[in-house]
Amino acid sequence: MPSTVTQQQTAICSKILEQKIVAIIRLKQQADVAPLLDSLVEAGIKVLEITSNTPGFEQEIKSARARHQHILVGAGTITNIELAKKAINAGAQFIVTPNTNKHIVLLAHQHNLPVLMGALTPTDIANAIEYNADIIKVFPAGSMGIGYFKALKGPFDSANLMPVGGINLDNLNQWFNAGACAVAISSDFSKVIKNQDDKHALIQLVHDYLASIPTG
């Protein structure tokens, strides 16, 4: 990270890197967000992102921050400045993009917020580093494979690379062994909680993920 980062940016990034898992919430119905988010927090998740293509994402970010002041709530799928402004106004504590956009970094850093910036190719990653992105989100990582990610760590060994897409319990440790600083989980966690059985199943799944994270 550049020398101009603020204490707030550093603290938020440190927590993300310490927790090693970001839970992505992407749902079709706004009413389903709070039950899922509350279940994830109850299970032990401390870093979540609510995507901009989830209906009412701004309201849900505000609500989540009010209910859970000890966790980090960020905004995901922030593809342009307009969405970034909405996310910041909603109180997002970090910004996640699927693409590489220097203007989003500039805006977020003006508000002391870190950016987890989407990048795929070596050129994307080099640009994201030049734009002072705080963490590089390699996306879609699963489509390219762990070998590709490991190859990226060669020239970019000092960068914080976080694979997103295709991460599951079966390959979680392989991604960390390949050099991932953290991972983000979407499909396994973005589930509609209809009843107590759904909630208990999700909580157990989260516990399995947390127990599989390498320490140190």
DSSP for 3-63, written as a single string: TT--HHHHHHHHHHHHH-EEEEE--S-GGGHHHHHHHHHHHT--EEEEETTSTTHHHHHHH
Q: What angle do CA 73, 74, 79 make, to 5 degrees?
A: 165
The model's pLDDT over 148-178, given as tens digits with 9 standing for 90+, comes to 999 999 999 999 999 999 999 999 999 999 9
Please return the burial class of 60, using the count of CB atoms within 10 Å of its CB with bins 0-12, 13-18 and 19+. buried
Reported confidence tier of residue 2, pLDDT bands at 50, 70, 90: very low
What local confidence, expressed as pLDDT, does residue 6 receive? 87
The tokens for 92 are 């997002």
Residues in Cβ contact with 150 at an 8 Å cutoff, skipping those fewer than 6 apart: 178, 179
Coil, strand or helix at 100: coil
What local confidence, expressed as pLDDT, does residue 1 receive? 41
Contact between residue 49 and residue 76 where contact means Cβ atoms under 8 Å apart: yes
Chain length of the chain: 216
Q: What percentage of the chain reaches a pLDDT higher than 70?
A: 98
The model's pLDDT over 101-119, given as tens digits with 9 standing for 90+, comes to 999 999 999 999 999 999 9
Q: Which residues pair with 162 in a beta bridge?
A: 137
For residues 60-76, give the mean pLDDT: 98
Q: Which residues are catalytic?
A: 49, 137
On average, the pLDDT of the chain sits at 96
Contact between residue 17 and residue 181 where contact means Cβ atoms under 8 Å apart: yes
Q: Which residues pair with 74 in a beta bridge?
A: 49
What local confidence, expressed as pLDDT, does residue 215 receive? 83
Please return the burial class of 147, using the count of CB atoms within 10 Å of its CB with bins 0-12, 13-18 and 19+. exposed
What local confidence, expressed as pLDDT, does residue 4 receive? 65
Reported confidence tier of residue 216, pLDDT bands at 50, 70, 90: low
What local confidence, expressed as pLDDT, does residue 65 receive? 98
Q: Which of 54, 45, 64, 67 is nearest to 25 (CA)?
A: 54
> Within 13 Å of residue 131, how many CA atoms lie on the same side as its CB?
26
Does residue 184 register a pLDDT over 60? yes
Token pair 């699963």 is found at 142
Residue 186 CA to residue 198 CA, distance in Å, equals 16
Does residue 203 register a pLDDT over 90? yes
